[in-house]
Amino acid sequence: WNHTNITWYFYNSFNVDDIIEKAFALYSKHSSLTFKKDFQCPTMYITVTPTVHIKYSERKTCPYDFDGPGGVLGHAFVPYPGMNQTDIHLDFNENWDFTMNLPAYDKSSFFLTMAHEIGHALGLQHSYVATSVMFPVSFTPKGIRDLNEFDLDRD
């Protein structure tokens, strides 16, 4: 990113803007980045979508289809140089938990998945530290409410 003011818009009817704002807050409280909802000209397009879907930042079909419940929860992209727009896609067919609590065994945390995918959109790679928000598997042994040292100590 060549700027610190990032705008976003969630293109779905779910009422989860507060959860998305909390996920962005994990990054703004530890950096100079600011995040603001903007439906007119977002730099991050966020969608919850079924199998085949659109990559709005490029106006074309996303090359990565979703696989239904229990598989891939989402994916995100770092913007191409000079583009300054990107997408975050979450799988519509997952059994999402839209609370800030630990999800039941058969549900996935929308908050933690959103925080993870925002990290990818900002350029973070997977961490193999189980308490990291960038851990590649939806596993929350004690719940994660903040970025850990590994998430913060990245170039």
Annotated binding-site members: 67-68, 75, 87, 89, 91, 94, 116, 120, 126, 134
Task: Give SS3 for 63.
Answer: coil
User: Which of 21, 58, 117, 149 is labelled catalytic?
Assistant: 117
Amino acid found at 11: Y
Residue 6 near residue 44, CB atoms below 8 Å: yes
Residues making up the annotated binding site for Ca(2+) are 67-68, 87, 91, 94
Beta strand extents in the chain (DSSP E only): 5-10, 34-37, 44-49, 54-55, 60-61, 74-76, 86-91, 96-97, 108-109
Could you list the residues known to form a binding site for Zn(2+), using ranges: 75, 89, 116, 120, 126, 134
Active site residue 21: no
Per the CB < 8 A criterion, the answer to whether 136 and 126 are in contact is: yes
**Would you please indicate which residues are annotated as catalytic (active-site) residues?**
117
